[in-house]
Amino acid sequence: MNEYKMYIDGKWVDSSNKKKIESINPSTNETIAAYPQATTLDTETAIGSARKAFDTGEWPKMPIAERAQYLYKIAQIIREEAYNLANLESKDTGKTTKQTTFIDIPTAASAFEYFAAAGTSIKGETIPIHNPAFSFTLREPIGVIGQIIPWNYPLLMAAWKIAPAIIMGNSVIFKPSQLASLTCLELAKIFERIELPQGVVNIVTGKGDEVGRTLSKNKLVNMISFTGGNAAGREVMKLASENTKKVCLELGGKSPNIVFADCDLEAAVGGAMSAIFMNQGQMCVAGSRLILEDKIYDKFVELLLDKTKKLKIGNALASDTDFGPIISKEHRKSIINYIEIGKKEAKLLYGGNIPEDRELEKGFYLEPTIFANVTNNMRIAQEEIFGPVLSIIKFTKEQDAIAIANDTRFGLASMVWTKNLNRANRIAKQMLSGTVWINTFGGFYNEAPFGGYKESGIGRELGKEGLLEYTETKHVNIDLNPTGKSLVTSWFA
């Protein structure tokens, strides 16, 4: 078993109380590593380190092109270590090696590369005004940023948050989930390897009710960027309000997946499966509501069931595994509770059970689950389950589909499947969600903003908008009155 330490002020340290958190492989229920359970004192030490790095350190004063070189080096080493990082991510989270190898690790590397280049494009602007004055804006770093993520995409989310924050000159205290911290600690090794200045990034492992709470409340932290559940997000927002710090929140979802009769049937079935069964449905953007036109309902469901039954459930490290375990025994229990609710509300078409395969009995496995005869007012259609549970809702008219899709407190992502691009554009404009995917799912691009409407969050990640989240706008005005004195100087004369 590997023993990790936290990374604070460029040093590897244990928690002040010497307590550890064990990393459990969801595929086998085996302990694979341990890392510190940070205390409030440890978190405050990290905040002090980040504060010093920003207030008196070289990082925010460094030319942005020079900061970019550090990010390029980080990306390079992530690619060099891709095989090991992908396997570790699979062991730590239960997501398949297919996903970690082809999505998570390379995408994390490309995020550092993108923000290294994009950061140099963020500049202030000159503002034309009528008075004799020169007026312009500056984009400056905010200061110390607290960043908190969940367990479903650890390394990728670390890249999404850390890269834009530090390229703009901020310093960071980063808290990964207590259920999945290993690749984030490996990322810290990369920071040490490239000699990132001390305190620019601090990785603090531990529980949200201690580390996250301290980051959210502490007045020396200027901003909190949080990704996670809505209840926790509201608590972060409440604590941050005590000293009016900026918050950027990416919260839950109950994403609609609208499928019209004129779709490419095979593509739409495959897309619907990816939208709910990739990463065992443990995605904030999961297409958990399949809103299906009645004309193709029976055929679509038949194809969907046939393909779902062929998914191979197994150890995340096995190359032929399609569907890995749930992150923890506790989370599996939560999903099963929703499945029991669904059985009372709708019709269970497939799944919902713990597999009987003896080779899987030690892990946290659960069958992919499909419900039919769902109406949008049911709990399984309204509440975020965060697991592989699909609710199928039938519709007849286009406007009915739009109404169903928008009838939720969430607004993170939505999908539309149709060959009629005029219809697709028409519907996209009516979707109350931060992202609309047309004839695809999960098209995340570093260049494009990501975030939610309604209770799915505040602010954006990725793209230019994601960079700007980590900046303050300063307006500078220089008087150019030809007399050398502006009107205000003689106001009381």
Pick the catalytic residue: 184, 248, 263, 284? 284
In 357-470, DSSP assigns E strands to 369-372, 389-395, 413-417, 435-438, 457-458
254, 289 in Cβ contact below 8 A? yes
Angle at 170 between CA 166 and CA 173, to 5 degrees: 85
Residue 323 DSSP label: B
403, 377 in Cβ contact below 8 A? no
- Cα gap 29→321, rounded to integer Å: 17
Which amino acid, 61? K
Question: Catalytic site residue 250?
Answer: yes
225, 245 in Cβ contact below 8 A? no
Question: Catalytic site residue 383?
Answer: no
Pick the catalytic residue: 81, 250, 293, 469? 250
473, 456 in Cβ contact below 8 A? no
In 386-440, DSSP assigns E strands to 389-395, 413-417, 435-438
Name the residue with tokens 């972060």. Answer: 236
Residue 364 DSSP label: -
Exposure class string for 103-134: b at 16+ Cβ within 10 A, else e: bbbbbbbbbbbbbbebbeebeeeeeeeeeeee
DSSP 3-state of 468 = helix
> So which residues are the catalytic ones?
250, 284
